[in-house]
Amino acid sequence: MWLNEPVKVLDTQAQAQAEARQTQLTKPAGSLGALERLAIRLAAMQGKHKPNMQQAWISVFAADHGLAETGVSAFPQQVTAQMVQNFISGGAAITVLARQHQAPFEVVDVGVKADFANQPGLVVDKVGYGTANALTQPAMTQAECQQALEVGKRAAERAVQAGASCFIGGEMGIANTASSSLLLACLMQTDIAPLVGAGTGLDSAGVQHKTDILQQVLAFHSSTLNQAQPLDILACVGGFEIAALAGAYLRCAQLGLPVLVDGVITTSAALVANAMAPQAKDWWIFSHLSVEPAHKIALDFLGVKPLLQLDLRLGEGSGAAIAWPLLQQACVLHNQMATFAEASVSSGA
């Protein structure tokens, strides 16, 4: 069973070498802050004292949610399929960013409530036509949940196969902040109300309605959710694209491919994977702090600090793509700066 394979262990020798190198570069010690820490982490992941970030790989997982029927999103459900077409046609934010960064890009239909013509850039790996409405039944069966995790596993393996330096996962699915809030409440065992936000743009009445619905969902499934395992929670209130992301993040950690995590929905997938394999988060770099209120709570729960805080709340993997140049810059600074000895510069007192 692939889910139980061990997470790759970080290379502490390469990490120590990178730490030592940072102290010798021509700058006051520590003065490149988060970029120094990034270079050192990437060295430990790649097992090289001079890590390289040559190419990001971007997989966006798209799926529909039965919960959309309950009016928890500001956008109609058909927007999921419309946006899949927009990703492929090149007009969506994440596609623009993929082009800008020359990153291989694919949209994975893991469960959209529509069919698409075969097109370059589209991977059809469908588990179903949207999840069931979690208000009245589990969102997925256990079998569907396993299949969706495997969709993510396959995407991670394609990225490794292509020689990617970093995996960026994105998501599209109308109502998926609702699913994300449900997952976070169950996994962190906290009240859901502080975890519910405006998503794509609900007003305060909309947020209240969303909160009411999500509380009903939790009440309906309370006997199942009480003391449930992570995968039971995922099947009960998750989404196909979130399960795929969890599978991808876990597989990246098993295979040793660094991950750039995006916003609140991808972080909820990370929490699922973290509950299954706590070491996996060594391989994940959190790109930004979203405006969605649940995101800070989830990041604090994981004990991680994101790189950026730019008031983003788009999803699609866009925040991770926006952070990608920081990883590249961290590496070129680490690799190409001269040491005090090389440059004949006096070091500090």
Please report how close the Cβ of residue 136 comes to a second copy at its closest, in angstroms: 24
Q: Which two tokens stand for residue 217?
A: 């969902």
Q: Which two tokens stand for residue 238?
A: 């998750």
Rank residues 60 and 83 by Cβ distance to a second copy and give the closer one.
83
List interacting residues with a second copy (CB under 8 A): 25-35, 74-76, 78-79, 82-83, 85-86, 89-93, 96-97, 99-100, 199-201, 291, 307-314, 318, 322, 325-326, 328-329, 332-333, 336-338, 342-349
Please report how close the Cβ of residue 292 comes to a second copy at its closest, in angstroms: 10
Q: How far out from the chain centre does Cα 346 lie?
A: 43
Instruction: Produce one character per residue of 26-56: b if its CB has 16 or more CB atoms within 10 Å, e if not.
Output: ebeeeebeebbbbbbbbbbbbbebbbebebb
User: How far apart are the C-alpha atoms of 185 and 214, rounded to whole Å?
Assistant: 10
DSSP 3-state assignment of 163? coil
The CB density around residue 318, as the number of other CB atoms within 10 Å, is 26
Catalytic status, residue 316: yes
Sign of the alpha-carbon torsion through 32, 38, 43, 46: negative
Residue of 150, 157, 316, 342 marked catalytic = 316
Measured between its terminal Cα atoms, the distance across the chain in Å is: 56
Rank residues 134 and 322 by Cβ distance to a second copy and give the closer one.
322
Please report how close the Cβ of residue 341 comes to a second copy at its closest, in angstroms: 11
Rank residues 148 and 264 by Cβ distance to a second copy and give the closer one.
264
User: How far apart are the C-alpha atoms of 253 and 247, rounded to whole Å?
Assistant: 10
Please report how close the Cβ of residue 8 comes to a second copy at its closest, in angstroms: 27
Q: Which two tokens stand for residue 214?
A: 């999500």
- Pick from 211, 193, 215: which is nearest to 202 by CA? 211
CB 270 within 8 A of CB 281: yes
User: How far apart are the C-alpha atoms of 185 and 156, rounded to whole Å?
Assistant: 27
> HEC states along 142-166?
HHHHHHHHHHHHHHHHHHHHCCCCE
Please report how close the Cβ of residue 273 comes to a second copy at its closest, in angstroms: 25
Please report how close the Cβ of residue 258 comes to a second copy at its closest, in angstroms: 18
Rank residues 297 and 332 by Cβ distance to a second copy and give the closer one.
332
Rank residues 202 and 277 by Cβ distance to a second copy and give the closer one.
202
- Catalytic residue numbers? 316
